Structure 1
Amino acid sequence: MTPTVRLMTTVWALGDYPSVAGEVIPALGPVLVEACGAGPGMRVLDVAAGSGNAAIPAAFTGAEVTASDVTPELLDAGAKEAARRGVRVRWEEGDAQALQPPPLWGDPAHVTDLLGAGVTEIDARRQTLRVNAFATPESFRDFFKARYGPTVATYRRIAGNPERVAALDRDLAGLARSHDLGGGAMDWEYLLLTATAR
């Protein structure tokens, strides 16, 4: 395991990512599964699967599903959730670092380049998810501060500097406040890209 992979594994194991997937963005997995038309007789590979918020809904369609992630703790959490819900998913540790930084996965041109000439019928759509999980900007901040691995890691790194901690506290609450549609509702944009193998 390279130092970069070891770092990413450690970061994503911090906090409680299954609660982020389950409480904040539970609708995203089923949206992707429906867009792909997953069903009986199909094989599904969920790359960077986390705790299975897309893999588990795909398994419910009758597809043969493999979920891959770099973080064993997330795979373990996903396996327990799949067993609890009575569906079968194959869980495999795998490194998707060669796909480059996840923020670029929201760039249609980058994703199209990753897929290369092996696909056709590319459909890229920007969509929004209505998030109602946080009553206040401060509750948004506190949730991500405690449960989202990269944010937890950042707070740990600056823990000895109260001014930086206070600034990050303000910035996270400010981020939520800037997207607040009223009553704590926010619309989060994501890229839904589907393609057909040649």
Structure 2
Amino acid sequence: MTVLAAASDLGAIKQRQQAMWATGDYSVIGTTLQIVGEDLCEALDLRAGERVLDVAAGNGNATLAAARRFALVTSTDYVPRLLERGRERAEAERQTVSFTEADAEELPFPDESFDVAVSTFGVMFSPDQEKAAREMRRVVRRGGRIGLANWTPDGFIGRLFKVIGRHVPPPAGLRSPSLWGTEERLAELFPACRITVKPRIYTFRYRSAEHWVDVFRTWYGPTNRAFAALDPAGQAALAADIVTLLQDLNRGGEAALIVPSEYLEVVIDRS
């Protein structure tokens, strides 16, 4: 789609997205993705004492991974409930972390405030992709790094977005979040920066395809809201299509659901 949403439309979309992410409890899903934050911090070669900003942090996977490496971490999200989940986790681990409610497109920090900025499956969902990328670059010092984990268009989650979109079309003019999982789009979003990407696999492990659908329908905001937008027949059709996708990708046989999902691990050297 070549016609993009106007700024006023993007503002309305953001408000709906904020309500969507507050639905259910993303932390139920987020905690299963912890390994991604750990791997990203290693890819960034994170150093003790570095100032790290976690953008669209959710319940704090990358936040905690950085704090465990003795970085000075500021964790941000625009959903207060998710920040609270991150705070609970940090307190349980006796980690010192600063938590700040913040929109990824309007970060409340001065230029070059951080050595590193990270986001795992977070900033990619910003409606105004260019603005979010500019903000991440703005708050990182020259010579610093930006680390991202982004779902790819052709991996499981990218394909899931397409399945959901056939039942509940996304807002007109909105770029797909999974474009952040392509080298071409990253080059557009972070011009004149050295970008290193590594395709990686996160593996979803659940009891069955039906179990996956039940968990994500209950706790994951985007899936929860997609089902809520449909009548009972539409809900049944969406569930059936997701189950089919999961079963097609399942390498666990009949005993369990094991579905690999590709994402890009990205390290950007801030010029």
SS at match of 2:196: strand
The offset of 1:162, in angstroms, is 1.6
SS at match of 1:67: strand
Structure 2 residue aligned with 1:10: 19
Structure 1 residue aligned with 2:134: none
Q: State percent identity of aligned pairs.
A: 31
**Separation in 1, partners of 2:12, 2:203:** 37
**Separation in 2, partners of 1:93, 1:87:** 19
**Separation in 1, partners of 2:267, 2:249:** 27
Which of 70, 74, 81 aligns to 1:62? It is: 70
Instruction: Give CA-to-partner distance per residue, 1:65-109, whole Å, 9 cap, x none.
Output: 112222111111111111111112222222233326532221122
Within 5 Å, give how 1:57-96 maps onto structure 2: 57-96=65-104
**Separation in 1, partners of 2:12, 2:262:** 32
Instruction: Give CA-to-partner distance per residue, 1:153-197, whole Å, 9 cap, x none.
Output: 111111xx2210110110121121111002311111000111222
Instruction: Give CA-to-partner distance per residue, 1:106-143, whole Å, 9 cap, x none.
Output: 112212222222x32x21111112222x1111111111
SS at match of 2:243: helix
Corresponding pairs, count: 192
Structure 2 residue aligned with 1:109: 184
With over 3 angstroms needed to count, the CA separation of the structure-2 counterparts of 1:116 and 1:90, relative to structure 1, is farther
With over 3 angstroms needed to count, the CA separation of the structure-2 counterparts of 1:156 and 1:12, relative to structure 1, is same
Contact 1:5 1:70 in 2 (8 A): no
**Separation in 2, partners of 1:18, 1:9:** 15
TM-score where L is the length of structure 1: 0.90
1:188 partnered with 2:196: no
Within 5 Å, give how 1:9-158 maps onto structure 2: 9-23=18-32, 25-96=33-104, 97=126, 98-99=128-129, 101-117=176-192, 119-120=193-194, 122-132=195-205, 134-158=206-230
Consecutive unaligned residues of structure 2, counting only runs of 5 or more, are 1-10, 105-125, 131-175
Write out the 4+ residue segments of structure 1 that deviate beyond 4 Å after TM superposition.
Answer: none
Comparing 2-11 with 137-146, which one deviates more in the overlay?
2-11
Contact 1:38 1:44 in 2 (8 A): no
Consecutive unaligned residues of structure 1, counting only runs of 5 or more, are none
TM-score where L is the length of structure 2: 0.67
> Which of the pair has the greater relative contact order for Cα pairs under 8 Å at 6+ separation?
1
Where is the helix percentage greater, Structure 1 or Structure 2? 1
Read off the aligned partner of 2:199 and give its amino acid letter. Answer: R
SS at match of 1:86: coil
Contact 1:50 1:69 in 2 (8 A): yes
**Separation in 2, partners of 1:115, 1:46:** 18
1:170 partnered with 2:211: no
**C-alpha RMSD over aligned residues:** 1.7
Read off the aligned partner of 1:51 and give its amino acid letter. Answer: N
